């Protein structure tokens, strides 16, 4: 098979890049190890920044997001038994939309299928070849056949466990990582929303978060030991913990419902400071991971492929590689800003086992500052809606 751009991974990064390239008249093929049903049904968080919302609208993918997503103009921080609202729209003029990642994927897949895009699901044993040359290729197996895609560029959108990043020699890569000593225990609940907006809570027992997926399905998290097991947590124990961390003296309480999914996710920050090698480019989780506290993961992936699409368009239209050569440096501006913001939010809201009373008071002081100072609140809001660190 011959194409201009070979894309590994049918997550938001790979699918959106393929769609953006299609709009620019550039041919691509997307391969994915999972089935279409799997990628469209794996429920994952989705907080879309203003820039992501605008881009999806601009490229014809925003109708369902607008109709079914929840537009939020603020969120709440709770600590020391107090509730404080961060008014995003008042502070920045922008907002966010809560729209699950698998719903974005459904929209992207539908758009690619409608346009006759080449999507190959259920592949295995994917490998990259000759990425340092001008004629790279991707090999994979499908239905017991060995297939090969010959292309001008390979884009690795295959996440942290895919083969793309490892195709860059270790001597060339510059990886940075921070592991956090806690995880998030997540549940999906059949219930009406507990709140009109997201709630981030700092509590002496640990962090908690109230989010939403739809008018009838809610997502809730609380800080836990990443080595814990979901089998140790009965429904009653989960609700007891969430009530302890979130219920307020003014009578507000978490709304309970039927828990139909439980999982524990680890927390880490990761950046590959080299996102390109020859004709191979990394985007999304293959290049960087953020803790979910800052709600940046999918938005970073969107920014990556936006930059790549512009660079590839310049290459095919003008024969210039300047934008492609600058891809890593351009993308890292946004990535490191988001990494810092996510680390800051995580550090400010979570309970650390080795924290002294002094450390705990510093957390409270920081929270009081961002909820009482307009300057502090604005800095938080600008980062949250994605106004800072963007490429231009």
In a shared domain, residues 222 and 256: yes
Can 369 be counted among the known catalytic residues? Answer: no
Output the pLDDT for position 215.
Answer: 87
Q: Is the pLDDT of residue 43 over 90?
A: no
What confidence tens digit (pLDDT) does each residue in 72-101 have? 999 999 999 899 999 999 999 999 999 989
Q: What is the pLDDT of residues 259-285, one digit of tens each?
A: 999 999 999 999 999 999 999 999 999
322 with 344, same domain? yes
- Are both 210 and 257 inside the same structural domain? yes
Global pTM reads 0.94
Is residue 214 predicted with pLDDT exceeding 90? no
Among the candidates 336, 352, 368, a domain finishes at 352
- Check residue 46 and give its pLDDT: 87
* From 99, 221, 327, 384, the catalytic residue: 384
Catalytic site residue 72?
yes
Q: Give the model's confidence band at 392: pLDDT under 50 very low, under 70 low, under 90 confident, else very high.
A: very low
Instruction: Give the per-residue pLDDT at 220.
Output: 96
Same domain, yes or no: 184 and 257: yes
Domain containing residue 151: CATH number: 3.50.50.60
Does residue 390 carry a pLDDT above 60? no
Q: Is residue 34 part of a domain?
A: yes
282 and 134 both lie in a single domain: yes
Digit-coded pLDDT (tens) for 309-343: 999 999 999 999 999 999 999 999 999 999 999 99
233 shares its domain with 117: no
pLDDT at 249: 86
Residue 389 has a pLDDT of 57
Q: How far is CA 28 from CA 57, 102, 143, 150, 289, in A?
A: 22, 22, 21, 11, 25
Do 138 and 220 fall into the same domain? no
Domain with 259, as residue range(s), is 177-267
* Candidates 99, 180, 200, 327; catalytic one: 200
Q: Verify whether residue 292 is a known catalytic residue.
A: yes
Q: Is residue 39 part of a domain?
A: yes
Q: Assign residue 237 the CATH number of its domain.
A: 3.30.9.10
pLDDT tens-digit readout, 278-316 = 999 999 999 999 999 999 999 999 999 999 999 999 999
The one catalytic residue among 72, 94, 277, 288: 72
pLDDT of residue 391: 46
Active site (annotated) includes residue 200: yes
Work out the mean pLDDT of the chain and round it to a whole number.
96
Look-up: residue for tokens 């399905």? 217
Q: How confident is the model at residue 45 (pLDDT cuts 50, 70, 90)?
A: confident
Is residue 111 in a domain? Answer: yes
Question: In this structure, are 116 and 248 located in the same domain?
Answer: no
Span 349-359, average pLDDT: 96
pLDDT above 80 (res 388): no
How many structural domains does the chain have? 2
Catalytic residue among 296, 306, 323, 350: 296
Asked whether residue 220 falls in the same domain as residue 280, the answer is: no
Residue of 94, 136, 292, 323 with catalytic role: 292
- pLDDT tens digits for 96-141? 999 989 999 999 999 999 999 999 999 999 999 999 999 999 999 9
Would you say residue 93 lies in a domain? no
Give the pLDDT confidence score for residue 155 in this predicted structure: 98
């Amino acid at each position: 098979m011959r194409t201009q751009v070979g894309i590994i991974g049918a997550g938001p990064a790979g699918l959106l890049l393929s769609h953006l390239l299609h709009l620019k008249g550039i041919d691509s093929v997307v391969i994915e190890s999972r089935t279409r049903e799997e990628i469209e049904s794996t429920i994952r968080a989705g907080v879309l920044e203003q820039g992501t919302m605008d881009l999806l609208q601009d490229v014809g993918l925003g109708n369902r997001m607008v109709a079914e997503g929840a537009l939020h103009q603020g969120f709440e921080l709770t600590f020391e038994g107090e509730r404080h609202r961060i008014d995003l729209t008042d502070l920045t003029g922008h907002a966010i939309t809560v729209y699950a990642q698998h719903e974005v994927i459904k929209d992207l897949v539908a758009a690619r299928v409608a346009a006759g895009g080449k999507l190959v699901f259920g592949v295995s044993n994917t490998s990259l070849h000759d990425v340092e040359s001008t004629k790279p290729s991707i090999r994979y197996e499908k239905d017991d056949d060995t297939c090969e895609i010959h292309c001008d560029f390979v884009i690795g959108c295959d996440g942290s466990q895919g083969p793309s990043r490892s195709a860059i020699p270790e001597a060339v890569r510059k990886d940075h990582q921070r592991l956090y000593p806690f995880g998030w225990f997540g549940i999906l609940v059949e219930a009406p929303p507990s709140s009109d907006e997201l709630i981030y809570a700092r509590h002496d027992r640990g962090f908690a978060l109230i989010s939403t997926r739809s008018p009838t399905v809610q997502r809730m998290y609380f800080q836990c030991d990443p080595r814990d097991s979901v089998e140790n947590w009965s429904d009653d124990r989960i609700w007891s913990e969430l009530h302890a961390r979130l219920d307020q003296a003014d009578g507000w309480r978490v709304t309970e419902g039927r828990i139909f999914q439980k999982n524990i996710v680890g927390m880490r920050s990761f950046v590959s400071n080299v996102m390109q090698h020859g004709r191979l480019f990394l985007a999304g989780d293959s290049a960087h991971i953020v803790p979910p506290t800052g709600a940046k993961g999918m938005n970073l992936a969107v920014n990556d492929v936006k930059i790549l699409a512009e660079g590839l368009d310049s290459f095919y239209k003008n024969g210039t590689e300047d934008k492609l050569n600058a891809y890593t440096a351009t993308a890292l501006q946004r990535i490191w800003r988001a990494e810092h913001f996510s680390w800051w939010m995580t550090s400010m809201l979570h309970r650390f086992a080795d924290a002294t009373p002094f450390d705990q008071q510093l957390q409270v002081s920081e929270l009081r500052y961002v909820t009482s100072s307009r300057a502090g609140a604005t800095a938080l809001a600008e980062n949250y809606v994605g106004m800072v660190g963007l490429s231009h």
